[in-house]
Structure 1
Amino acid sequence: MSPLTCPSCGSRKVVKNGRIHSGKQNHKCRYCGRQFVEEPQQKSTKDLIDKLLLEKIPLAGIARVCDVSESWLQDYVNGKYAAVPQTVNVSSKKKPRLTIQCDEMWSFVNDKGNKQWIWLALDVATREIVGVYVGARSQQGARQLWNSLPGVYRQCAVAYTDFWDAYGCVFPKKRHHAVGKETGKTSYIERFNCTMRQRVSRLVRKTLSFSKKLDNHIGAIWMFVHHYNASLQY
């Protein structure tokens, strides 16, 4: 068995230096002070964590499954969610006959008094999520949802929503239809809301896995939306 070499300076003056959180042997270079483990599995662990973040599993559960510390995992998740793009990435569309369904879904951050409504728009033909905004259930929220839509939808899409007044104040009147659930005209977006609640643990109505930080709340929603849209292309 060949002696260990430091990955930073190449020195062979390496000694054992305790164990890391997963129990693996840690080493330290006497020459430059670099600490490291043999055959690190960090990349595969991160890949697994990325997949688990898209399932209804709390962070404490992910830490146990992946054998990492909760503090390390929280730091990783903070960086992961901060890097998630907050614009929709959808397939190209032709202008004629675009139809969307829109709805708002209740959620909260830290406590139920801090309501954060998730505004969503879904393309009826492709089932893609084409608009997202997280914030107040107000005219400003409807405006932000409208602004999040790609230009082709703002130019010509017909929108079906519930009877919340904010939609009528923002969406073009000639292309906006407020309808009841019994019509089935908002059934696709309502089904997606159900899917989100079942897949994203922080959105489950009665949960201990609620968001403590608004940025992570928004990042988790966007991460799932990107995953969902990408899955429709396979």
Structure 2
Amino acid sequence: MNKLDTKTRAQILAMLCEGASMRSVSRLTDTSINTVSKLLVDAGRFCAGFHDAMVRGVKAKRVQVDEVWSFTAAKEKNVAGMKKPVDGAGDTWTWTAIEADTKLLISHFVGGRDGECAKWFIEDMAGRLANRVQLTSDGHKAYLEAVEGTFGADVDYAMLVKLYGSAPESFKGRYSPADCTGIKKTKIEGKPDMAHVSTSYVERSNLTVRMHNRRFTRLTNAFSKKFENHAHMVAIYAVWYNFLRIHKTLRVTPAMAAGLSDTIKTWEQIVEAMDADAPKPGKRGPYKKTLEEISN
């Protein structure tokens, strides 16, 4: 089976993480859209496993969590009217957990915004931590039960709720909320340092997610058509963000700042690791006569 060379595959993955759509990547690299799609799936599966194996035993101090909205195939309000319904269509939420000091993306999860997804996300994040942390979330009520069920009393947890003024008539239908008039910090568990109760870092990280993933760009036709591909792209982004991208403030990658890596990884190294991890092709089966030979 023909396979693209390492350099071209690395270029495709790099472009996907720089905000290019799949079809634009296909045109710029002179490859088939099917080739780009297959690489997305293969790389997504590998990167999910890579993140799962590498981001363990994280010695964190302050962790911030939040959710990023996007949609698959159609917005939730339009799902019922779809001519060709697809599995996972509608609102798609990406849950992220950021360590405030190292900016490490500790955990990510793609799903709904309900209590079950919150529970899965918080449990996954907790399993990657090596010590007690101070945790901050927004006022989403699903976090309350998820954090309580996962950490119990072994966490310093607080919620930060932003207060908004009334939106003027001209703001109706826009994405931006009304002006923030204040914040309310609420201690939920343990003894959180209220001076460090903040979601600023994770919200800034969410902006990076939107800027570097074409699927998250509003008012375009680049949104995800398949839920699985959306999750694959998030997994690829997480590896790029943690291990390949130098953080401007840290001057190293988040993984290096967190002590999870000694060097800056490259896409060539990731692709080579993918190849090494891929199952080896089996022996060819017995020779089969062609239809023409049989007919003769």
Letter in 2 for 1:58: S
Out of 23, 26, 31, the residue aligned to residue 68 of structure 1 is: 31
Matched with 1:56 is 19
Say if 1:60 and 1:134 are closer, same or farther in 2 by CA, change over 3 A.
same
- Give the TM-score normalised by the residue count of structure 2: 0.60
Out of 97, 104, 110, the residue aligned to residue 73 of structure 2 is: 110
Secondary structure at 2:48 match in 1: coil
Provide the rounded CA distance (Å) in 2 between the counterparts of 1:178 and 1:71: 44
Provide the rounded CA distance (Å) in 1 between the counterparts of 2:11 and 2:40: 13
Secondary structure at 2:222 match in 1: coil
Asked if the contact 1:109/1:211 (under 8 Å) is kept, the reply is yes
Letter in 1 for 2:199: T
Provide the rounded CA distance (Å) in 2 between the counterparts of 1:70 and 1:170: 40
Matched with 1:190 is 203
What's the offset of the Cα at 1:92? 4.6
Matched with 2:125 is 149
Matched with 1:178 is 159
What's the offset of the Cα at 1:206? 1.6
- String of CA shifts for 1:101-158, please: whole Å, max 9, x gaps: 0101111111112111111111112110112111110111110111111536386222
Could you list the runs of 5+ residues in structure 1 that have no partner in the other structure?
1-34
Say if 1:85 and 1:187 are closer, same or farther in 2 by CA, change over 3 A.
same
- String of CA shifts for 1:52-76, please: whole Å, max 9, x gaps: 1111111111111101122332233
Letter in 2 for 1:79: D
1:69-218 alignment to 2 at 5 Å? 69-86=32-49, 87-88=51-52, 89-90=54-55, 92-94=57-59, 98-113=61-76, 114-151=90-127, 153=129, 156-172=132-148, 175-181=156-162, 185-218=198-231
What's the offset of the Cα at 1:43? 2.8
Asked if the contact 2:21/2:222 (under 8 Å) is kept, the reply is yes
Out of 233, 236, 249, the residue aligned to residue 223 of structure 1 is: 236
Asked if the contact 2:57/2:129 (under 8 Å) is kept, the reply is no
1:18-33 alignment to 2 at 5 Å? none
Provide the rounded CA distance (Å) in 1 between the counterparts of 2:238 and 2:4: 28
Secondary structure at 1:83 match in 2: helix
Secondary structure at 1:176 match in 2: strand
Asked if the contact 2:57/2:130 (under 8 Å) is kept, the reply is no
Matched with 1:7 is none
- String of CA shifts for 1:156-212, please: whole Å, max 9, x gaps: 222101111011112137522111345670000000000110110001122211111
- Larger CA Rg, structure 1 vs 2: 1
Asked if the contact 1:168/1:176 (under 8 Å) is kept, the reply is no
Secondary structure at 1:56 match in 2: coil
Calculate percent identity across the aligned residue pairs: 25
- Give the TM-score normalised by the residue count of structure 1: 0.74
Q: Which moved more, 1:125-134 or 1:179-188?
A: 179-188
Provide the rounded CA distance (Å) in 2 between the counterparts of 1:155 and 1:41: 43
